[in-house]
Amino acid sequence: MLNIKELTIKEAGDMMKRGEITSVNLVSACFKNIEEKNKELNIFLEVFSDVLEQAKNADEMIKNGKGTRITGIPIAIKDNMLIMGKKTSSASKMLENYTATYDAFVIKKLKEAGAVLIGRTNMDEFAMGSSTENSAYGPVKNPIDPSRVPGGSSGGSAAAVVAGMALGALGSDTGGSIRQPASFCGLVGMKPTYGMVSRSGLTAMSSSLDQIGPFAKTSEDAEIIFDCIKGYDEMDSTSINFPRTRFRGVSPEPGSGEDLKKIIGIPWDFLKEGVDIEVLENFKNVVEKFKKAGYEIKDISLPYSKYSLAVYYIIMPAEVSTNLSRLDGMRYGLRKEGENLPTGKAGIFDTYKKSRSLGFGPETRRRIILGTYVLSHGYYDAYYNKAWKVRRAIMKEFQEIFKDVNFVMTPTTPTPAFKFGEKKDPLAMYLCDIFTTPANIAGLPAISIPSGFSSLGLPFGIQFSGPLFSDESLFAIEKDLRDNI
């Protein structure tokens, strides 16, 4: 019997090419784990009815020599990416009956490559959260310890890979929603450079921050998924037509004769407060292993970047307020009729109020209200405009830093996976994103890789952020150092 929990995408692809297994075998093994554990863990909101048909078609592609590195591989999809003919609810009652009329760009690319789309995974409603406790359909449990959260907002996608319900998954990352679940679940999770992967067909949360990226067990696997879904898309005005490249500071071109230093910058001032003792100890141990692996470690200062979290929680809610305004019960979304007026017709304001109050959960409503406030007359300049000025300063700060270092390294999260209900204060929950938000604010690529376990057996993750378009090198650094960590 296949051990899907240990099998990598690369290994599975090689085995299918050699005829040792089929995509149908892989799907059947995933189904077995879904049947055994999904009811308890609440990972999949829907397993697609045509999965076996997809797998049979993939086997034919491989048999006919038309397979790619991802052909026949079972992939889980976060429930905010459109798949034509399938429901896409963003884990919200507001869109519980919405059926997609077209494929998202990334879905189209996966289908063309012959990947098998297993189903749609649970998430924080409209991607708003750091724990996947905010889903309208109940929380996702961490397969490593079901009493703890898997991270958010892409918690279902991360949990699907760890639980052996898929070999890889797609998530979306607005302020850490791929990297934080990857850290909590012991996976590789990657947020690409803004614009490298099209957002067309992704339910918008915060348009200037959102990016789609992969979850996988190894960097090779994550790179296989990334290579499939990246690319220019004329349907996305922020899409970038950028050629495949490897950042020269890490991997010089063969035959170039270059022997460039590999320099990692560490902003130690970021790590002074609020970081779990074991997380900090793990981080320091990993730093020493990097040194032994031949990397130069350099202390750096990021005085503006420490404001990234504050900037994020101004810009993100503002864009949430704008993007979700269309979900009003009139044009889109759940509709609940208001009280009748003397004319016998339902009052439009009351209909709006009831539809949005019942359609959106507490966290979504909180962020809509906050975003509407910072965009309102009298506060736009005081908050929103000021946040954008600081954002530009953060971008410039990273540009200067990357003249001296190849990567910036931090823990991915300040704590390991926490227990359900442990963070009742919204501000305490928001602080989970303190290390991940700078990359989104600056549009940088960033990756979380596993770095060990706590005394309770909970995974740790370390994060690398790189210069714009250094995406390929982020995968390379994990490969370089896996044997040393």
Per-residue pLDDT tens, the chain, 485 aa: give them.
689 999 999 999 999 999 999 999 999 999 999 999 999 999 999 999 999 999 999 999 999 999 999 999 999 999 999 999 999 999 999 999 999 999 999 999 999 999 999 999 999 999 999 999 999 999 999 999 999 999 999 999 999 999 999 999 999 999 999 999 999 999 999 999 999 999 999 999 999 999 999 999 999 999 999 999 999 999 999 999 876 555 545 445 544 545 556 899 999 998 988 899 999 999 999 999 999 888 999 999 999 999 999 999 999 999 999 999 999 888 788 988 877 666 656 678 888 888 899 999 999 999 999 999 999 998 999 999 999 999 999 999 999 999 999 999 999 999 999 999 999 888 889 999 999 999 999 999 999 999 999 999 999 999 999 999 999 999 988 777 676 65
Q: Are 337 and 358 in contact (CB under 8 A)?
A: no
Residue ranges of the chain that CATH labels 3.90.1300.10: 1-304+387-485
The pLDDT value given to residue 434: 95
109, 256, 319, 456 from 230: Cα distances, Å? 9, 28, 24, 37
109 is catalytic: no
Q: Is 284 exposed, middle or buried (0-12, 13-18, 19+ CB in 10 A)?
A: exposed
Cα-trace Rg, the chain: 22
For residue 143, give the DSSP letter: T
d(CA 358, CA 356): 5
Mention every residue, 6+ apart, whose C-beta is less than 8 A from residue 355.
328, 329, 330, 333, 334, 335, 336
d(CA 459, CA 442): 27
Of 10, 37, 78, 191, which residue is the catalytic one?
A: 78
d(CA 126, CA 305): 26
d(CA 89, CA 126): 8
Give me the residue label for tokens 């309770």.
456
Of 177, 219, 465, 473, which residue is the catalytic one?
A: 177
153 is catalytic: yes
Residue among 216, 236, 214 nearest 226 (CA):
214
Show the DSSP H helices in 105-152 as ranges: 105-113
For residue 381, give the DSSP letter: I
d(CA 467, CA 263): 13
Query: Within a 10 A sphere around the Cβ of 246, how many other Cβ atoms?
Result: 16
Residue among 113, 118, 146, 114 nearest 132 (CA):
146
d(CA 256, CA 430): 46
451 is catalytic: no
For residue 90, give the DSSP letter: T
Convert 43-62 to b/e letters by CB count within 10 Å (16 or more is b): bbbbbbeebeebbebbbebb
For residue 305, give the DSSP letter: G
The CATH superfamily label for domain 1-304+387-485 reads Amidase signature (AS) domain (3.90.1300.10)
Q: Is 389 exposed, middle or buried (0-12, 13-18, 19+ CB in 10 A)?
A: exposed
d(CA 106, CA 212): 8
Global model pTM greater than 0.75: yes
d(CA 348, CA 189): 44
CA angle 97, 368, 129 (to 5 degrees): 75
The pLDDT value given to residue 257: 47
β partners of residue 218: none
Give me the residue label for tokens 């965009």.
375
Of 89, 130, 153, 470, which residue is the catalytic one?
A: 153
The pLDDT value given to residue 345: 63
The pLDDT value given to residue 250: 44
